[in-house]
Structure 1
Amino acid sequence: MNIRFLLLLLFFTIGAWAQDEEILVSGSLIEAETGQPIPYATVVLKDVSSKATIMGAITNDQGRFQLNSSTKDFYVEISFMGFETIQLRDFKVKGNKVTLGIIKLFQDSQMLDEVVVRGEVSKTEFKLDKRVFNVGKDLSSTGASALEVLNNVPSVNVNIEGDISLRGSDGVQILINGKPSVLADESSNALGTITADMIESIEVITNPSAKYEASGTSGILNIILKKEEKRGWNGSVSINTGVPDNHSIGGSLNRRTEKFNLFTQFGAGYRSLPRDNEAINRNLINNEVIFSEGESFRNETFFNITLGTDYHLNQYNVFTLSGNFAYEIEDQPSETNFRFFDTNNTLVSRWLRDETTDATNPKWQYEFNWKKQFKNNEDHTFQLSALGSFFGKDQSSLFTDTTLEGENVDNNQQTATNFQQADYTFKADYTNPLTKEYTLETGVQYVMNDVGNDFEVRDLIAGEFVINENLTNDFEWNQKVLGIYATGAYENDTWGIKVGVRVENTDLQTLLANTNEGNSQNFTNLFPSLHTSYTFSEKFSLQAGYSKRIFRPRLWDLNPFFNIRNNFNIRAGNPELQPEFTNSYELTSIYKIGKASMSSSLYHRYTTDVVERVSTFVDNVNFSTPENIGTNSSIGFEANGKYSPAKWLTFTWDFNFNYFDRKGTFEDQVFDFTGNQWSTRLGSKIGLPADIDLEFNGNYRSGFETVQGEQSGFAFLDIGMRKKILKGKIVANLGIRDVFASRIQERFVNQPTFEIYDFGLRGRFLTFSLSYAFGKGEAMTYSGRRR
């Protein structure tokens, strides 16, 4: 009896244990078209009879999944947005395991169409001092890059090589979440690590308010990233080649998790930048003439790497730490032919001036940022950031003059440059939306620039190089700018007004250490701003703005040293140069008509202490230095638009015309004159079958009168072609810049005692690149553009 009872108990125990033992289900998910893993897809085990969910999981970054079932009567259902949902029923259980292996998902074209048509569509909202382009699912679901998204923003154009312009003008400042970032550095393509589904919106600011530093740019594009986006791995590698030499290899990588966003970009390459030059110096007093023409090169071998991370401490605090290091090795050969003719137009001498220049340039940049969001409102924020950078140059040059005909002018010179520049920016910004309509902003920024340029010139005398004390010196430049601002805004659904003021104190010190020549400037300025807008409808809005801006002389405007490559045409800086101040008024209309978006502006700008390069003529040598020359009052009209008559065809255009009234004096000369200048650009993007895109950009810039002569106009054409393979996982780019080699720089100086002609040409550039992407997003080209 007892034995039968024990056997029965043992039987039920084994049966119960067998029923409780779980079955392990595992597999790996990839895209059928590309073979790429699919992260964050949903895998569910469902009961065969009731279809109730037994267990669920999502795939990891490599597309793998693993989950358990306590019953054998189940099937597997796998789904992911944009792909066909599948059910797996034909599998075997071996040793309490179900191994599904590699599972392929096919894109669901019908579902993707529904996302585009029924989902959230990208659109532009008009704010007080900016336009906000909200990225909808029609873009975020495509896997496009940040540059592709920018190219969909009205007034913004991104060419195939990745160059960004706003309303037809270069020099756009790119911000990430309202702050400078190594991700937005033009010298790399770190923007390629950002895909469309990471972007919340893009702010377009053409007339910045007092919140932004008063030094001018052509505009600001602020990319706002989503906080909650988790995309796993994104990355790309590319190789590039071109004529003249432009060869590089690079890559970018981005990894997003719940807490971290890790990104890196790296590359190396070699490029050559040739330039043709021609000059004529004509002395009208004795009719002597010097002709010079030649070719120069800037050859560079370069390496760079960017590393950074965003750390989401919690939903209210994000920390960013990033850095960039670059190293360049330069070789700058040049050859210039000179001819000197006397009063009787007789050749006096002909000689050749050769240059051999070598340099090494270390660069680095680093950034720290903390952004805090308050619980009561996501727009209630405090942001603290620090950005530092360093640039160095150790350069040596040898110039050799060789007489070819006539009088002997043989002469050898050496120069040596030890240059170091350190820049630091510290910034704090606080934004408080008091109510839905009222917002206050305040902040402070401190910028430090510290430069030292030790320059030495040596002349060959009696077989030895001897220091030329007249040309040798150590230039030190230190500038500190402290800015404090406050703005207040009222804005409802149709109308708003924003008032702000910025106070900036500039402390500038320059010193020529060897001769103890110093220049000290300390000034404080107010920079008010006023913006208002009225939205008549979603398709038409008016904006009006006023701001005061400043142009502080740059280092090379102040540095008195010069390159003696052509020692009859010398450009030098002016340590005593004063800043320009501009009062800018602008009325802008923004409207959409069908498939076209357009904006037009009337503007008036009044600038004092205008900086112009002025030529003086001594012993047939042209010295060109920047000087403050009076005032400039300009009235202008600007219009730009984007029109897409079909999905495969887009036209963009820009037109700018301004009439100016110049008044000023320099030494004994009066510079009072009026003139005009205009420019236009017409671009087209054509989508061809087989995922081929063509791009044409034609530009024309008119000539205009200058304080001493005139500047010639020119026209040029750029062409690009892009081929996508495997839905953008592989991209091939072909570009031709300045197809007809017509982008010239030609300047005439016509004065009572002398005339100067100066001509420069870069020539035609042909580039080809091949890129491959992994993870989500398209392949991006690494260009290694010079910073």
Structure 2
Amino acid sequence: MKKILLSLLILGTFVTVKAQFPAGGFGGGAKKPTVFGRVTATILDSVTKQPIDYATVSLINVKDNKSVNGGVTDPKGKLSLQNVAPDTYKLMIGFMGYKTKSISVITTPAKPDQNLGTIYISSTENSLSDVQVQGTKAIIENKIDRMVYNAEADGTNAGGDATDVMRKVPMLSVDANGDVQLRGGAVRVLINGKPSGTMAASVSDALKMIPAEQIKSVEVITSPSAKYDAEGSGGIINIITKKSNAQGVSGSVNTSVGTRQNNGAFNLTAKTGRLSVNTSLGANLAYAQDSRTEFVTNTTYLDGTTNNILQQGVSRWSRDGYNGSLGIDYDFNAYNNISSNVKLNQFSNGGPGSSNYIINNLPATNISNMDMTRSNMDWNVDYKKTTKKEGEEFTISGQLSTGRTPTSFSNILTSAAAPNGIITSSDNTAKNNEYTAQTDYTYPFSKNTILEVGAKGIFRNVKSQYGASERDFDYNQDVAAAYGVIGFDITKKIKFKGGLRAEYTKIDFNTQTSGLEKNDYFNLFPSLIISQTLKKGATVKFSYNRRVQRPSENFLNPFRNESDQFNIMQGNPQLSPELSQNLELGYSTYIKGSVINASIFYRTTGGVIESSISPLVENGITKVLSSYINVGRSETYGLNIFGSYNPKPKWTLMSNFSANTYEVTNTATNISTGTFLNYSLFGRSAYGFGKGYNFELFGVATSARRTYQGKTDPFYFYGASIKKDILKKKGSIGLNTLNPFTKDLHIKTENNSVNAVGNVFQSSNIYYPLRSFGVNFSYSFGKLKFTEKKKIKNDDVKQDQQQGGGVGGGLQQ
């Protein structure tokens, strides 16, 4: 049935595109159409070699000296003029304070596309050629629809992984396990605008697989339009990796060696004519280090009896992983493009451990071992068609994602009652397959009025296999969606963008205990953004949207993970999705080179999913079972303030403060947690000494994090780096450190649960070895020319981001 639905959707889109573009690549007209091409270039300052943003460019026909096309460069200095007929032209480039430059351009039917490469323009001030510009690149870009953190410009990231990067992104908070939240709500994490099967299993593990050196930037989108999948109560995070389409051959190499982990990343792009091929490879290895844990569990039953467990243990875990990709991009002509990309990754962690117990004043010892591997493949094919009408675009995309997560553990428990030891072991393989078809169409009625429509189908299957059986858990989730978005200018200074998304979800699953169950639901997700430009470049924005969080594999898998047999973890296939509504008011301005962005928001969420502990008595021994439940309804108020200031041209100060309230009311008991305040503070100082030297300091501090059953105590960490540009600024070498004066990151969590069995209180202390020192090296070669392609995006599934718990680059809107 799924294959039939996919075939019908794809067939329908081809019929639609043929009706929309009868004279294009699909048309069969007898008259051979004129071959149109494009002219591309990158405009840079001749002295600083920096991009010229918003330079004016005109394409003039030499026969009649009339302008036939034109435009302005983007923030990277890029220029792309479409629908250029074969002829002889001159390209005129002008910008205030620079000399006008003319370039000869000749296009022919045999070669309609012309890449002029890098064009340098010089200042009208002669003395400027003697000026040496020094300083640091902006770490944060504040835009009307998103905030962008340029990770590649932050030297303190070297030697870490994506989790370390996320901790420094404005508006994000990361707990001790690496789970990410955006302004107190769960998020959808994309890589280059696309989902990853590895993220479907665990975001925290997936982030640890990506070396920090492979990340170009991180986009934070708090108010996605209806064009996006409705998942993510807090919003969307898009990680842009370092890859490109470039004429000729270009690439980069990054490596770091440290006391905590080693990373390596390699990127290579080759482009000739209309064909582009790019590949990347990353690897990381974390040394085996001792992580200490302490658990105190007290259970009081309804009959008044008690059970106490004191546990002290050491786990010696190591971690290694790799990720690789291969992409092909081909332009059939100026209007038709096809691309395909395959990503592979694997991540393994685990190791031996030992624990000493005192169970009701009786000692016991446990020797354990655990191994977990996550492997995933994502393959997507994307077709895009444009027309002579600027902004008109039709796309059709397909994606296949497959994931495998084998997990095994063993325990040998020795006590006075069992001097020879009680051996327990188990293994589980979770399989996640996902098939997606998507089509989108954009039509500009005018320069300022744009309509976007589209449809999408997602077909998911999750199986969890225990031992010899292959159908212990079989979960199917199918989602059909359609949307429409309209954007227009109300006045010259006020812009509006609004839309509606409809999603129908069909769920059925099998378990050994409950048999076949079904759950179907239909939802509408409206969205709107109104923004106004004020004096001196300031802007104010109001947005509203409705979002959903569907539980993902880790939340659903009923496999009992007993790697710690007194603290058992298990998913819950009975979970319902979260539904939330969001209101935001934002303001941004520039004051004498300083950037200030402030926003306040309100969110209400029904069916909040949280981790829950409960007592479990087996063979006369009390254990703690951790699972997930729909707690109830929450109301959240919050604010975010970001600022960047340059006391001197070479010195940049940056800070971000985020705060939100936490309150959840249980819908069954109508009991509220009360209102608590969560906040996080990030600060950074960067200074360029000249001659390629840059020094940076940063620090992160968080408040206590509340949940329905308890809280996690506050923690902080800090770091520094020094970097030197070498090899004519194509390379760099540096030193970095994280928590140099503090060996462990101490995280204390307390939870208290009251249910039909009794009351259980658990206190845990984790001492995670965070201190590290490292050396890093990077080198780039070739001339990069970034291009952006429409990619498929599945962003509708709640990830393993427990609340403990804009769009550019690869993410298209």
Question: Which TM-score applies when normalising by structure 1?
Answer: 0.71
CA distance in 2, matches of 1:568, 1:350: 12
The one-letter code matched in structure 1 to 2:324 is I
Task: Kindly indicate whether residue 422 of structure 2 is the aligned counterpart of residue 411 of structure 1.
Answer: yes
| Per-residue CA distance 1:499-537 (angstroms, 9 max, x = gap) | 10001111222221x445333211110000111000013
Asked if structure 2 preserves the Cα contact closer than 8 Å seen for 1:349 and 1:408, the reply is no
The one-letter code matched in structure 2 to 1:283 is T
For the structure 1 residues 628 and 402, does the alpha-carbon distance in structure 2 shift closer, same or farther, using more than 3 Å as the test? same
Single out whichever of 408-417 and 428-437 deviates more from structure 2.
408-417
Residue aligning to 1:638? 640
CA distance in 2, matches of 1:661, 1:335: 38
CA distance in 1, matches of 2:389, 2:516: 53
Asked if structure 2 preserves the Cα contact closer than 8 Å seen for 1:480 and 1:508, the reply is yes
Residue aligning to 1:259? 274
CA distance in 1, matches of 2:570, 2:230: 26
The alpha-carbon deviation at position 714 of structure 1 amounts to: 1.5
Asked if structure 2 preserves the Cα contact closer than 8 Å seen for 1:631 and 1:664, the reply is yes
| Per-residue CA distance 1:441-499 (angstroms, 9 max, x = gap) | 1111222222211124xxxxxxxxxx9x9xx9722222222221101111254111111
Residue aligning to 1:773? 780
Q: Which one of the candidate residues 531, 534, 546 is aligned to 1:533?
A: 531
The alpha-carbon deviation at position 591 of structure 1 amounts to: 0.8
User: Helix, strand or coil: the match of 1:627?
Assistant: strand
Task: Describe how 1:363-762 pairs up with structure 2 within 5 A.
Answer: 363-377=376-390, 379-403=391-415, 408=419, 410-456=421-467, 474-491=472-489, 493-512=492-511, 514-515=512-513, 517-619=515-617, 620-665=622-667, 670-739=671-740, 740-741=742-743, 743-751=745-753, 753-762=759-768
Asked if structure 2 preserves the Cα contact closer than 8 Å seen for 1:716 and 1:742, the reply is no
Residue aligning to 2:171? 168
User: Helix, strand or coil: the match of 1:376?
Assistant: coil
Residue aligning to 2:352? 333
CA distance in 2, matches of 1:720, 1:400: 44
Asked if structure 1 preserves the Cα contact closer than 8 Å seen for 2:250 and 2:784, the reply is yes
Q: Which one of the candidate residues 222, 228, 232 is aligned to 1:212?
A: 228
CA distance in 2, matches of 1:444, 1:318: 20
Asked if structure 2 preserves the Cα contact closer than 8 Å seen for 1:693 and 1:721, the reply is yes
The one-letter code matched in structure 1 to 2:724 is K
For the structure 1 residues 611 and 439, does the alpha-carbon distance in structure 2 shift closer, same or farther, using more than 3 Å as the test? same
CA distance in 1, matches of 2:654, 2:345: 35
Asked if structure 2 preserves the Cα contact closer than 8 Å seen for 1:714 and 1:743, the reply is yes
CA distance in 1, matches of 2:276, 2:464: 39
Asked if structure 2 preserves the Cα contact closer than 8 Å seen for 1:661 and 1:673, the reply is yes
| Per-residue CA distance 1:107-155 (angstroms, 9 max, x = gap) | 99977779989xxx9998965xx2599xxxxxxxxxxx97547x79xxx
Residue aligning to 2:118? none
Task: Kindly indicate whether residue 316 of structure 2 is the aligned counterpart of residue 313 of structure 1.
Answer: no
The one-letter code matched in structure 1 to 2:498 is V
Single out whichever of 414-423 and 668-677 deviates more from structure 2.
668-677
CA distance in 1, matches of 2:338, 2:132: 34
User: Helix, strand or coil: the match of 1:208?
Assistant: coil
Asked if structure 1 preserves the Cα contact closer than 8 Å seen for 2:545 and 2:583, the reply is yes
Asked if structure 1 preserves the Cα contact closer than 8 Å seen for 2:428 and 2:559, the reply is no
Asked if structure 1 preserves the Cα contact closer than 8 Å seen for 2:159 and 2:256, the reply is no
Asked if structure 2 preserves the Cα contact closer than 8 Å seen for 1:147 and 1:192, the reply is no
CA distance in 2, matches of 1:158, 1:481: 38
For the structure 1 residues 380 and 363, does the alpha-carbon distance in structure 2 shift closer, same or farther, using more than 3 Å as the test? same
Q: Which one of the candidate residues 346, 354, 357 is aligned to 2:367?
A: 354
CA distance in 1, matches of 2:191, 2:408: 37
Residue aligning to 1:95? none
CA distance in 1, matches of 2:565, 2:170: 39
Single out whichever of 322-331 and 436-445 deviates more from structure 2.
322-331
For the structure 1 residues 665 and 113, does the alpha-carbon distance in structure 2 shift closer, same or farther, using more than 3 Å as the test? farther
Single out whichever of 436-445 and 542-551 deviates more from structure 2.
436-445
Asked if structure 2 preserves the Cα contact closer than 8 Å seen for 1:539 and 1:593, the reply is no
Report sequence identity in percent.
24
The alpha-carbon deviation at position 409 of structure 1 amounts to: 8.1
Asked if structure 2 preserves the Cα contact closer than 8 Å seen for 1:348 and 1:407, the reply is no
The one-letter code matched in structure 2 to 1:392 is R
| Per-residue CA distance 1:722-780 (angstroms, 9 max, x = gap) | 332123333224333344256443221235633211222322142433233332469xx
The one-letter code matched in structure 2 to 1:256 is K
Residue aligning to 1:142? none
The one-letter code matched in structure 1 to 2:588 is I
The alpha-carbon deviation at position 190 of structure 1 amounts to: 11
CA distance in 2, matches of 1:247, 1:193: 16
Residue aligning to 1:67? none
Asked if structure 2 preserves the Cα contact closer than 8 Å seen for 1:266 and 1:305, the reply is yes
The one-letter code matched in structure 1 to 2:707 is T
User: Helix, strand or coil: the match of 2:485?
Assistant: strand
CA distance in 2, matches of 1:222, 1:756: 36
CA distance in 2, matches of 1:686, 1:534: 35
For the structure 1 residues 660 and 146, does the alpha-carbon distance in structure 2 shift closer, same or farther, using more than 3 Å as the test? closer
Task: Kindly indicate whether residue 295 of structure 2 is the aligned counterpart of residue 289 of structure 1.
Answer: no
The alpha-carbon deviation at position 686 of structure 1 amounts to: 2.4
For the structure 1 residues 276 and 771, does the alpha-carbon distance in structure 2 shift closer, same or farther, using more than 3 Å as the test? same
Q: Which of 1 and 2 has higher RCO (CA within 8 Å, sep 6+)?
A: 2
| Per-residue CA distance 1:587-627 (angstroms, 9 max, x = gap) | 00011111211111111101111112222123431112211
Single out whichever of 290-299 and 598-607 deviates more from structure 2.
290-299
For the structure 1 residues 711 and 586, does the alpha-carbon distance in structure 2 shift closer, same or farther, using more than 3 Å as the test? same
CA distance in 2, matches of 1:613, 1:555: 14
For the structure 1 residues 173 and 362, does the alpha-carbon distance in structure 2 shift closer, same or farther, using more than 3 Å as the test? closer
CA distance in 2, matches of 1:714, 1:123: 24
* Rg larger for: 1
Asked if structure 2 preserves the Cα contact closer than 8 Å seen for 1:519 and 1:575, the reply is no
Gaps of 5+ in 2: 1-121, 173-179, 181-186, 200-205, 786-799, 802-813
Asked if structure 1 preserves the Cα contact closer than 8 Å seen for 2:213 and 2:254, the reply is no
CA distance in 1, matches of 2:495, 2:706: 41
Question: Which TM-score applies when normalising by structure 2?
Answer: 0.69
CA distance in 1, matches of 2:389, 2:130: 38
For the structure 1 residues 433 and 589, does the alpha-carbon distance in structure 2 shift closer, same or farther, using more than 3 Å as the test? same
Residue aligning to 1:44? none
Residue aligning to 2:13? none
The one-letter code matched in structure 1 to 2:388 is K
User: Helix, strand or coil: the match of 1:762?
Assistant: strand
Gaps of 5+ in 1: 1-106, 134-144, 197-201, 342-346, 457-466, 779-785
Q: How many residues are matched?
A: 621
The one-letter code matched in structure 1 to 2:750 is F
Asked if structure 2 preserves the Cα contact closer than 8 Å seen for 1:633 and 1:660, the reply is yes
CA distance in 1, matches of 2:648, 2:784: 24
